[in-house]
Structure 1
Amino acid sequence: MPSSRRSGFGRVLIAVYAILAIAATGRSVYQILSRFDEAPLAYALSAVAAVVYVVATIALAMRGAIWTRVAVATIAFELVGVVAVGTLSLTSPALFGHASVWSWYGMGYLFIPAVLPIVGLWWIRRTERATVDGSVAA
C-alpha cells in the first residue's frame, strides 16, 4: 500500500473508519446484549457494520497489495450494504424498529455511512494510480 495513505487525507480517512469502528462496535454490543429482541435485524446489521468498519480500518492502515484488495472488497461490501439496507429500511420500516448504522442510508450518522465508502474507494483508486504512475516514471 502506498505510503501516501498514511499521510494527509489517508490518515483522516483511517481515523474516520476507526471512529466508526469503535462507535459501531460499542453500539452493537449494547444493542445485542440488552435489546436484541426489539429489532433483531437492525441490531444484527449493526454488528455486521462494526466488523466491516474494523476490517476496513485495519486494511487501510496496512501496506501491500493484499491489504489494498481487502480494503477495496470491504469498502465495496460496505457500499452495497448501505444501499441495500438503506433501501430496505425505507421500503420496510417495520423491520427497523431502531436505526442501525446503515439504515436510512446512514441518516442518523449524518449520511457518513453513505458517503464514506465512495470517498474510500475513490481514495484507494487515486493512491493506486499515483503509485503506478510514479513507478512507471521511475
Structure 2
Amino acid sequence: MPETEHDTTGTTRASGPGRLLIAVYALFAVAATGRSTVQILTRFEEAPLAYSLSALAAVVYVAATVALARADRVSRAVALASCTVELVGVVAVGLFTLLVPEAFPDDTVWSLFGRGYGFVPLVLPVLGLLWLRRSHPRPAASTGEPAGRG
C-alpha cells in the first residue's frame, strides 16, 4: 500500500481544499476531453492546431486529476509536472492567441489565457502548485546527530 502524503497539519492532499481542487480538475478533464473529441471528430480540418491543443489540455487535466487524487511520490511528481505543463501551456497559448489570432480560427481551453472559461485555466495550475507545496510532507526534525550516525 502506498504511503499517504500528509501536510504539516496532518491532512491528506485529497481532503479539504485539495478535494475541491481535484473536483475542479476533474470537471476540466471531462469538459476538455469532450470538447476536443467533438472538435477533432467533426471539424479538425478547420483548426487543427487549436483542436490539437485542446486535446493536449485534456490529457494534462486528466493526468493532473489522477495524480492529485493519489498520494504517493510518483503521483506527486506527475502532479507537479502536469501543473507546470498546464501553466506554461496556458501562458504560451494565451500569448500566442493574443499576438497571432489568425493562427487560431477557433478557441482552445487555453486561448487568451482561458478567457472563455473565466480564466480558471490560468489560476488552476497556480493553485495546484501551491497546494502541492503546502501538502508536501516535511522531513522529520533533526536530532542534532551528524548524518550517517545512528
For normalisation by structure 2, the TM-score amounts to 0.86
Q: SS of the counterpart of 1:97?
A: coil
C-alpha separation in 2, matches of 1:8 and 1:33: 38
Q: What is the aligned residue count?
A: 134
1:56 to 64, 75, 97: 64
1:123 to 115, 125, 131: 131
Structure 2, unmatched stretches of 5+, are: 143-150
Query: C-alpha displacement at 1:136, in angstroms?
Result: 3.1
Which residue is equivalent to 2:74? 66
Name the structure with the higher helix share: 1
Matched, 1:132 2:138: yes
Q: Greater Rg, structure 1 or structure 2?
A: 2
C-alpha separation in 2, matches of 1:112 and 1:136: 38
Matched, 1:41 2:49: yes
Please give the per-residue CA displacement for 1:53-88, whole angstroms capped at 9, x wherever unaligned: 000000001111111011001110100000100000
Please give the per-residue CA displacement for 1:13-57, whole angstroms capped at 9, x wherever unaligned: 000000000000000000000011111110000000000000000
2:38 to 9, 15, 30: 30
RMSD, aligned CA: 1.3
Structure 1, unmatched stretches of 5+, are: none
Which residue is equivalent to 1:114? 122
